[in-house]
Structure 1
Amino acid sequence: MSPAKIRFSLVALVTIVLLSLLFSHWTAFLAWSLQTQITLHRYLVTHLLQINSGQYSAGLWLIGVTFVYGILHAAGPGHGKFIVTTWLTTHQPPRGVALSVPFLGSLVQGLSAIAFVFILAIGFNLALGELSLSRWYLEKASALFIAALGVMMMVNAWRSRKTDAAHHHAGCGCGHDHGAVVAPQEGWKAWLAIIIATGVRPCSGALTVLLFASVIGITRWGIVAVMTMALGTGLALVGLALFVRHFRQRAQQLWLTDSSLTAMRTLRLLRIAGGALLILFAVVLFLTVVPVSANGDYIAAGC
């Protein structure tokens, strides 16, 4: 084994150990994540009240806290990180696409929170219990959409077996030119599906902040807070995308070659496995949606 492969294997082993430790303390991590979000949420409410009382300098603090909130939100458990990691582990989109898709997904998540509040809370003047029920339906639909994304990944990967067969035929040695074999690439439809799957489910914290801001009459500041939060989450996901993409490229350079038939089949199996993981993840999300509350929702971990 080459020194480069040994170094990569050690890094991969350390990463697996760290993830195993995180999984073994998952309950404590969830509790810490929820408590941190609640603490930051209290700061957000305080700054909104200060702005409402004429202390506009609190607006700068509001922007700073919401930005940090967004970063910490990205570091905690959530569907966006799982989708991005699974996608970039099993696919190799252009660098610009790999970075822009998770970022746009985060911005869409902020916009979906704004649309949710403006359409249902302000437009239809729904009560808190009705808003909670609407959120419940939206999160159920989001889980189904993630499952559909997983199915699409599996179907596309299965269809790529024709490319494997063509590659084998091209190397048959018969002396005929069978044409260049090009691995199938994702299109804008797949990228759009990932953006929607990441962003269609609004963050509970963003909903709570925007609802509170609209109640006390400073909706614009609530919008600023939500989009700053989305910006922090988006930049954190871009960092995650850079890491996963680099890790995948190094693994492929060391262990697989683009022209290898075995490599193509291995990548196809990985994409099928990635789609299956998304479906399993969607089932867990569907079954663990935060129950409807007649008194309105509060911040929930994993939003």
Structure 2
Amino acid sequence: MGKYVVRRLLQMIPVLIGATFLIFAMVFALPGDPTDGKCGERPCSAEYVAQYRKDHHLDDPLLVQYGKYVTNLAQGDFGTNYFNNTVSSELLQRYPNTVKLASVAILFEIVIGIGVGVLAGTRKGGIVDTAVMLATLIFISIPIIVLGPMAQIIFGIKLGWFKPTVSSGAPLQELLLPGLVLATLSVAYVARLTRTNLVENLRADYARTAIAKGLTHRRAIGVHTLRNSLIPVVTFIGADFGALLGGAIVTERIFNIQGVGSMIFTGIANRDGMSVVGAVTMLVLVFLIMNLLVDLLYGLLDPRISHD
């Protein structure tokens, strides 16, 4: 197990370098001048622009800029954004809000998605199964950019069950509605994935043999088939946690959550390359670590899988 973890951590290094280089190159290839709007309605003076570009190394070749960035990144320095604030301090301030939002969404995925999937899988072909498949198809078809404002209007403004927008501290009770909105698509996928795998495993020889030998249907599901059915579900949820951390941009904008997604959106709008690269680099790190944790969980769910 230890050798496997070390090997995977070493494999992350070239992946991280390649991902950060692509992100760095694409962000700094965006059209526009980062000094636009820095001096109000009037254009900035040539001296200011020259000093600005010198301070942020914007006149250096791409490889030189990236080399300086990677050197600083290896020392834990994510750089300074175009407003003279350290990117690391911005991340420390915003990342907890995004992590809380993603955690709430993942909790909904696990509880609702797996629960509904098991309910449908154990009643294959019945009314509950048909209703679940139809409802999940509907939710898959509705994008968050539509679902978010609808939830705000219905549950936040008309019914008053939740606050329409989230305050600066992002308390957990205010993240329930945006967390549910963010998780809706994934809940539908988890429910369908759980249902499909559970139905398939219930038809397997080992499940029929266990029931034929006297094991109750409920115990056969809880001890054997559900455990095997959760392997692809855990894969999806683990990968989705990293995706939620980076894909919450729309949800954070709708509910006014000051998180990493909002930071990325603002950075792109202001041509603030360092903020965007720093935030996305952190997301890549989280995504790689989550993939490692998912692989390690395989051994707990299926003893046949070995990491030696």
- TM interval, shorter chain, is 0.3 to 0.5
**Which has the higher relative contact order, 1 or 2, with Cα contacts under 8 A spaced 6 or more apart?**
1
Larger Rg: 2
Q: TM-score, normalised by structure 1?
A: 0.36
